Amino acid sequence: MGILTPNPFWLASAPPTNTGEQIMRAFDAGWGGAVWKTIGEPVVNTASRYSSVDWTGQRMMGLNHIELISDRSIEDNVREIAEVKKRYPKHTVIASLMVESKREVWHDIVKRAEDAGADGLELNFGCPHGMSERGMGSAVGQVPEYSCTITEWAKEAARTPVMVKLTPNVTDIRVIARAARKGGADALSAINTINSITGIDLDTLTPRPNVGGMSAHGGYCGPAVKPIALHLVQQIASDPDVRLPVSGIGGIQSWRDAAEFILVGCGTVQVCTAVMHYGYRIVEDMIDGLSNWMDDKGYASIDDFRGLTLPRMTEWKHLDLNYRIVARIDPSKCIGCDLCYVACWDGAHQCIHHEGSREAPAARQARSRASISVTPIAKLDFASGKDGHGPRVPQVDEEECVGCNLCSLVCPVESCITMVEVETGKPKESWEQRSSGRVYARPGQE
Amino acid sequence: MSEPGLPLQKNLELFPDLHPALDARSAVTEANRCLNCFDAPCMSACPTHIDVPGFIKRIASGNVRGSARVILEANVLGMSCSRACPVDVLCEGACVMHTFNKKPIEIGRLQRYAMEDFYAHAGAGGDSRPGPAPLTHAEKIACIGGGPASLACAAELRRRGFAVRVFDNRPLPGGLTTYGIAEYKLRPSDSLREVEMIRGMGVEFHCADVGSDVSLDELERTFSVIFLGMGLGAMHRIGIPGEDLPGVIDALHFIERYKTEKDFPVGRCVAVIGGGNTAIDAANAARRLGAEEVHIFYRRTENEMPAFANEYEHAKSEGVVFHWLVQPVSIIEGKGRLAGVKFVQTRLGPQDESGRRNAEPVHGSDFNFMCDMAIPALGQTKFVKLLKSSRGIDLTDGSIKVDRATGRTSNARYFAGGDCVNGGREVVDAVADGKRAALAIAAQFEG
């Protein structure tokens, strides 16, 4: 992208980058850069603004918000950009911008941000609520022509690199990415938040966040969205018609997440939800952890491993259908929970059995329910031949096992179920090869 | 509505819950730790086969009412069992977490959480206690003894539309569950709430002694089937001189009296004789009631002691002192009452055919132990008096002989379950016996 930055860990444009005071504290904590909370005509925000999804006792694995862009004046924001850059000249400050779709308005805001000393600009084409209703945010990001045009306008006035932030709420993100490139974008960032409703209060029958008895859809972020973000970033990074540097955003909480985004092509990563959950301090393990992993793998810099996963991603039709693996259960680790057994019977291919039997789950359960067991009492059972039952270890029928590996995912014990490659003696063969170029009809054709 | 005055106020203060209850958030957190095993070992280990993962997951999802229903479907005394069961050797002992090097799921406390929620709604909005099912059979069944075996049998039969009457010779039903369980595990009021629920299901209760107030002949005329759930008899006597002196009180009487009598005094220095769970319950209670010293005397050693390991640990933490390889010889009298106990040391003899080593006194090793209360806890006798009236009911070694799966005795009109069959196990075993018998009896008439 052409911006020098102390480390690839940036804060995303969001509440943690609302004020200069916050950003300076973040830089003190170790963050390498920050994208300012989107600057434009100040808005008024609602109370409440957030809702979340908890997962089996752990808090906030997904966060949803209906907050808009900055509610502070453009003057305050640009003055603070100048302050921050003066005190932290080596740290990266990107100004995120969103104004109404008029050329002069865009020229003006670009100039004011760059005059304040911003190292680069991020064009916000992603807010999925509030701003989109006013023709901004995702209203731009969902329409390739608008994305292209506004990027052009920004580029007309900009002296610093222009990064376009993409919304995931589209059919094919590559189309928008190509449009931004056509408009002259120097880089892309993805993803912004995903349209969501996190849940409904079963007493008030109103979804959260509840604003005076009503609700509106919000933008979903946090660990829950990482898989979606990774996919979209990979799509953009692999597209031959895009070929722009990418800054990865979406549920990054740890150095592992950061490494994964870098492996699919990102030069920097941006974090928001994890900071809102735990504070700026989380960057310490991110830096330290990534650094240790790089040492283990022999990577001297981010560039040494950036994008290394991309050649390993392909379309489904190219996957080898003759590749065979089967599940193997380690009896020494099995705890006898039978979760693999019921998952295979009810949710997969009925290939896991207990010794000497092929009975279905219901029959097995019925037998246990009919059995007679008593409390062991030493003085009454003193001829105690009470056999301590070890864990009952299920067995995989390797002939029948299709290698879906559902069992390995439900098993609670680390490395108890492993997937083992089985030699078939057959050559690699993809679906495309097998169907020898057969073309399937599409709607509108014969 | 329980007996007014119970639990005694002083007992509420002296005997706080042994294990404090879980609150809503900690219950959900613990419930989420459960792996939801299929054909779970905890469920198999439970004599009543409560669907443990099922009730736990309902706590996790916030469906506490559904959780209670799942428990009660398998075990009508789900509340008592959640507090009195030796979970370490039953459900929690079987939990797969042991093999996983993790703490087993707190099944007992989770069950208690669901059951307390259930009973908290009793008589208020959200009361899910079942009402009487319609009577769909002409046959009537009598249950002798009002303890857990009969309660479970009666509840199950009444649910299936049979009229049932429970006969018990004590003022309050519930048997040992009301009168015999340590106060810090189960209060009389807890047991009585369950009795009330069962009464609300249409089961009739009659305070009468079968054998003296009403005869078996009369019962046979009115009832098609009779279930025997009278438990065990009085505790074994020690068989030594002086044991009828004031100051000597057997463990079951001791427990019954401290649970129900307002000013029941405990000695300053108490000697408990025996090494089983009842001995431990009595010893712990004596400490709580204010005894300065409590000593347990057992004729064999720690290795042979029948009490559950966790009960033993509990007693030690209460400050109970254990004496091994001693047995009583006689009660020392002073001023017309117990002044102490004369003990002799023992040693373990060779193994007999069952593998046990009996205790043999070591001659000349007598010693005196001065105390002001002695509590023998040597197990209960078998309750054979009633059955000696030759109804053709076979006994093995004093226990009623039954077909394990159905509880049917050698007389087709008599079924049996609980302590009078199994020699004295837990509440949950009695419930399982009673329920199995009810299913067999119902099957008989449902054709």
pLDDT digits (tens, 9 = 90+) for A318-334: 999 999 999 999 999 99
Helix (H, G, I), strand (E, B) or coil at B376: strand
- pLDDT at position B14: 83
Specify if A445 maps to a domain: no
Task: Based on the fold, state whether residues B349 and B279 are members of the same structural domain.
Answer: yes
> What is the chain A residue with the closest CA to B404?
A372
Q: 3-state secondary structure string, chain A?
A: CCCCCCCCEEECCCHHHCCHHHHHHHHHHCCCEEECCCECCCCCCCCCCEEEEEECCEEEEEEEECCCCCCCCHHHHHHHHHHHHHHCCCCEEEEEECCCCCHHHHHHHHHHHHHCCCCEEEEECCCCCCCHHHCCCHHHHCCHHHHHHHHHHHHHHCCCCEEEECCCCCCCHHHHHHHHHHCCCCEEEECCCEEECCCECCCCCCECCCECCECCCEEEECHHHHHHHHHHHHHHHHCCCCCCCEEEECCCCCHHHHHHHHHCCEEEEEECHHHHHHCHHHHHHHHHHHHHHHHHHCCCCHHHCCCCCHHHCCCHHHCECCCCEEEEECCCCCCCCCHHHHHHHHHCCCCEECCCCCCCHHHHHHHHHHCCCCCCCCCCCCCCCCCCCCCCCCEECCCCCCCCCHHHHHCCCCCCEEEEECCCCCCCCEHHHHCCCCCCCCCCCC
Helix (H, G, I), strand (E, B) or coil at B308: coil
Between vectors from CA B333 to CA B332 and to CA B334, what angle results, nearest 5°? 125
Choosing among A58, A372, A373, which should be mutated to test the B contact, i.e. which has the most B CBs within 10 A? A373
- pLDDT at position A386: 44
Task: Based on the fold, state whether residues B87 and B180 are members of the same structural domain.
Answer: no
| Average pLDDT rounded to a whole number, residues B75-87 | 96
Contacts of B303 in chain A (CB under 8 A): none
DSSP category for residue B38? T
Specify if B133 maps to a domain: no
| Average pLDDT rounded to a whole number, residues A38-54 | 95
- Find out whether A109 and A157 touch, Cβ atoms under 8 Å: no
Length of chain A in residues, anyone? 446
- Closest residue to B38, CB basis, from A339, A371, A373: A339
The first and second tokens of residue B287, run together, are 């400490």
Put simply, the answer to whether B49 touches A376 (Cβ < 8 Å) is no
CATH number (domain holding residue B157): 3.50.50.60
CA A285 to chain B, closest CA, distance in angstroms equals: 27
- Surface-to-core class of residue B14, CB atoms within 10 Å of its CB (0-12 exposed, 13-18 middle, 19+ buried): middle
- In this prediction, what percent of chain B has a pLDDT beyond 70? 97
- pLDDT at position A301: 95
Query: Among candidates B79, B30, B21, which has minimal Cα distance to B50?
Result: B79
- Find out whether A39 and A127 touch, Cβ atoms under 8 Å: no
The first and second tokens of residue B261, run together, are 């009598």
Choosing among B29, B100, B311, B351, which should be mutated to test the A contact, i.e. which has the most A CBs within 10 A? B100
| Average pLDDT rounded to a whole number, residues B20-37 | 93
- Closest residue to A375, CB basis, from B35, B90, B356: B90
CA B253 to chain A, closest CA, distance in angstroms equals: 22
> What is the chain B residue with the closest CA to A365?
B39
Would you say residue B368 has pLDDT above 70?
Answer: yes
- pLDDT at position A332: 94
Would you say residue B261 has pLDDT above 70?
Answer: yes
Task: Based on the fold, state whether residues B93 and B45 are members of the same structural domain.
Answer: yes
Specify if B11 maps to a domain: no
| Average pLDDT rounded to a whole number, residues A1-11 | 88
Contacts of A371 in chain B (CB under 8 A): 44, 49
- Surface-to-core class of residue A185, CB atoms within 10 Å of its CB (0-12 exposed, 13-18 middle, 19+ buried): buried
Task: Based on the fold, state whether residues B372 and B255 are members of the same structural domain.
Answer: yes
Would you say residue B430 has pLDDT above 50?
Answer: yes
Between vectors from CA B198 to CA B192 and to CA B200, what angle results, nearest 5°? 105
CATH number (domain holding residue A346): 3.30.70.20
Put simply, the answer to whether B41 touches A380 (Cβ < 8 Å) is no
* Model pLDDT for residues A198-210, shown as the tens digit of each residue: 999 999 999 999 9
Q: What is the dihedral of CA A290, A294, A295, A301, to 10 degrees?
A: -110
Task: Based on the fold, state whether residues A291 and A428 are members of the same structural domain.
Answer: no
* Model pLDDT for residues B218-253, shown as the tens digit of each residue: 999 999 999 999 999 888 999 999 999 999 999 999
Task: Based on the fold, state whether residues A91 and A17 are members of the same structural domain.
Answer: yes
Specify if A1 maps to a domain: no
Put simply, the answer to whether A373 touches B41 (Cβ < 8 Å) is no
| Average pLDDT rounded to a whole number, residues A132-137 | 81
Task: Based on the fold, state whether residues A239 and A265 are members of the same structural domain.
Answer: yes
Local confidence band at B4 (pLDDT 50, 70, 90 cut-offs): low
Contacts of B39 in chain A (CB under 8 A): 338, 342, 361, 364-365, 368
CATH number (domain holding residue A139): 3.20.20.70
Put simply, the answer to whether A335 touches B429 (Cβ < 8 Å) is no
Task: Based on the fold, state whether residues A243 and A331 are members of the same structural domain.
Answer: no
The first and second tokens of residue B98, run together, are 């042991």
Contacts of B89 in chain A (CB under 8 A): 375-376
- Domain end position, chosen among B376, B402, B425: B376
- pLDDT at position A134: 81
Query: Among candidates A229, A321, A233, A231, which has minimal Cα distance to A272?
Result: A229
Task: Based on the fold, state whether residues A27 and A84 are members of the same structural domain.
Answer: yes
> What is the chain B residue with the closest CA to A389?
B94
Task: Based on the fold, state whether residues B286 and B195 are members of the same structural domain.
Answer: no
Put simply, the answer to whether B425 touches A369 (Cβ < 8 Å) is no
Task: Based on the fold, state whether residues B82 and B27 are members of the same structural domain.
Answer: yes
The amino acid present at A319, given as its one-letter code, is L
CA A340 to chain B, closest CA, distance in angstroms equals: 9
Whether the upstream peptide bond of residue A48 has omega within 30° of 0, thus cis, is: yes
- Domain end position, chosen among A278, A295, A312: A312
- pLDDT at position A421: 96
Put simply, the answer to whether A413 touches B354 (Cβ < 8 Å) is no
- pLDDT at position B122: 87
Contacts of B91 in chain A (CB under 8 A): none
CATH number (domain holding residue B104): 1.10.1060.10
Would you say residue A21 has pLDDT above 90?
Answer: yes
- Closest residue to A373, CB basis, from B45, B86, B97: B45
- pLDDT at position B398: 84
Which residues of A are identified as catalytic?
127
Overall number of domains in chain A: 2
The first and second tokens of residue B27, run together, are 């219950």
Put simply, the answer to whether A369 touches B49 (Cβ < 8 Å) is yes
- Domain end position, chosen among A285, A312, A339: A312
- pLDDT at position A127: 80
Domain containing A30 equals 9-312
- Find out whether A131 and A123 touch, Cβ atoms under 8 Å: no
CA neighbours closer than 13 Å in the CB half-sphere of residue A38: 22
- Domain end position, chosen among B120, B152, B177: B120
- Closest residue to A368, CB basis, from B28, B39, B425: B39
Specify if A20 maps to a domain: yes
> What is the chain A residue with the closest CA to B30?
A57
Would you say residue B2 has pLDDT above 50?
Answer: no
Task: Based on the fold, state whether residues A296 and A427 are members of the same structural domain.
Answer: no
Q: Tell me if chain B has a CB within 8 Å of the CB of A316.
A: no
Task: Based on the fold, state whether residues A105 and A183 are members of the same structural domain.
Answer: yes
Q: Tell me the average pLDDT of chain B.
A: 92
- The residue to which tokens 């246990």 are assigned: A368
* Model pLDDT for residues A340-372, shown as the tens digit of each residue: 999 999 999 999 999 888 999 999 999 999 999
Contacts of B35 in chain A (CB under 8 A): 337, 339, 412
Specify if A338 maps to a domain: yes
Contacts of A410 in chain B (CB under 8 A): none
| Average pLDDT rounded to a whole number, residues B381-398 | 78
- pLDDT at position B1: 37
Specify if A324 maps to a domain: yes
Would you say residue B79 has pLDDT above 50?
Answer: yes
- pLDDT at position A85: 98
Contacts of B306 in chain A (CB under 8 A): 377-379
Put simply, the answer to whether B422 touches A373 (Cβ < 8 Å) is no
Choosing among B61, B63, B96, which should be mutated to test the A contact, i.e. which has the most A CBs within 10 A? B96
CA B1 to chain A, closest CA, distance in angstroms equals: 31
Task: Based on the fold, state whether residues A92 and A168 are members of the same structural domain.
Answer: yes
- Domain end position, chosen among B376, B403, B435: B376
Local confidence band at A130 (pLDDT 50, 70, 90 cut-offs): confident
Contacts of A341 in chain B (CB under 8 A): 38
- In this prediction, what percent of chain B has a pLDDT beyond 90? 78
* Model pLDDT for residues B108-129, shown as the tens digit of each residue: 999 999 999 999 998 888 888 9
Local confidence band at B193 (pLDDT 50, 70, 90 cut-offs): very high
Task: Based on the fold, state whether residues B51 and B74 are members of the same structural domain.
Answer: yes
Task: Based on the fold, state whether residues B71 and B102 are members of the same structural domain.
Answer: yes
Domain containing B335 equals 251-376
Contacts for B49 with CB less than 8 Å, ≥ 6 apart: A368, A369, A371, A373, B43, B74, B432
**Cα end-to-end span (Å), chain B:** 38
Specify if B311 maps to a domain: yes
Choosing among A334, A337, A413, which should be mutated to test the B contact, i.e. which has the most B CBs within 10 A? A337
Strand partners of residue A293: none
Would you say residue A93 has pLDDT above 90?
Answer: yes
Contacts for B419 with CB less than 8 Å, ≥ 6 apart: B147, B149, B176, B231, B232, B380, B425, B430
The amino acid present at A434, given as its one-letter code, is R
Query: Among candidates B418, B419, B402, which has minimal Cα distance to B410?
Result: B402
Would you say residue A390 has pLDDT above 80?
Answer: no
Contacts of B100 in chain A (CB under 8 A): 335, 412-413
| Average pLDDT rounded to a whole number, residues B160-182 | 94
Task: Based on the fold, state whether residues B346 and B399 are members of the same structural domain.
Answer: no
- pLDDT at position A57: 76
Put simply, the answer to whether B99 touches A339 (Cβ < 8 Å) is no
Task: Based on the fold, state whether residues B370 and B264 are members of the same structural domain.
Answer: yes
CA neighbours closer than 13 Å in the CB half-sphere of residue B240: 20
Specify if A443 maps to a domain: no
Task: Based on the fold, state whether residues A324 and A304 are members of the same structural domain.
Answer: no
Specify if A4 maps to a domain: no
Count CB pairs under 8 A between chains A and B.
89
Put simply, the answer to whether A375 touches B37 (Cβ < 8 Å) is no
CA–CA separation, A179 and B260 (whole Å) = 85
* Model pLDDT for residues A116-129, shown as the tens digit of each residue: 999 999 999 988 77
Would you say residue B295 has pLDDT above 80?
Answer: yes
| Average pLDDT rounded to a whole number, residues A41-58 | 92
Task: Based on the fold, state whether residues B102 and B145 are members of the same structural domain.
Answer: no
- Find out whether A189 and A163 touch, Cβ atoms under 8 Å: yes
Return the minimum-mean-pLDDT range out of A414-423, A427-436, B15-24: B15-24
Contacts for B226 with CB less than 8 Å, ≥ 6 apart: B141, B142, B143, B144, B216, B219, B220, B413, B414, B415
Higher confidence at residue B107 or residue B385? Answer: B107
Specify if B3 maps to a domain: no
The ipTM assigned to this model is 0.83
Q: Tell me if chain B has a CB within 8 Å of the CB of A59.
A: no
Q: Tell me if chain B has a CB within 8 Å of the CB of A383.
A: yes
Q: Tell me the average pLDDT of chain A.
A: 94
Would you say residue A2 has pLDDT above 90?
Answer: no
Local confidence band at A387 (pLDDT 50, 70, 90 cut-offs): very low
Specify if B208 maps to a domain: yes
Specify if B175 maps to a domain: yes
Task: Based on the fold, state whether residues A122 and A184 are members of the same structural domain.
Answer: yes
Contacts of A375 in chain B (CB under 8 A): 47, 85-86, 89-90, 425-426, 428-429
Task: Based on the fold, state whether residues A397 and A414 are members of the same structural domain.
Answer: yes
Task: Based on the fold, state whether residues A223 and A180 are members of the same structural domain.
Answer: yes
Overall number of domains in chain B: 3
- Closest residue to A382, CB basis, from B40, B43, B356: B356
Specify if A150 maps to a domain: yes
- Closest residue to B39, CB basis, from A335, A364, A377: A364
Put simply, the answer to whether A338 touches B86 (Cβ < 8 Å) is no
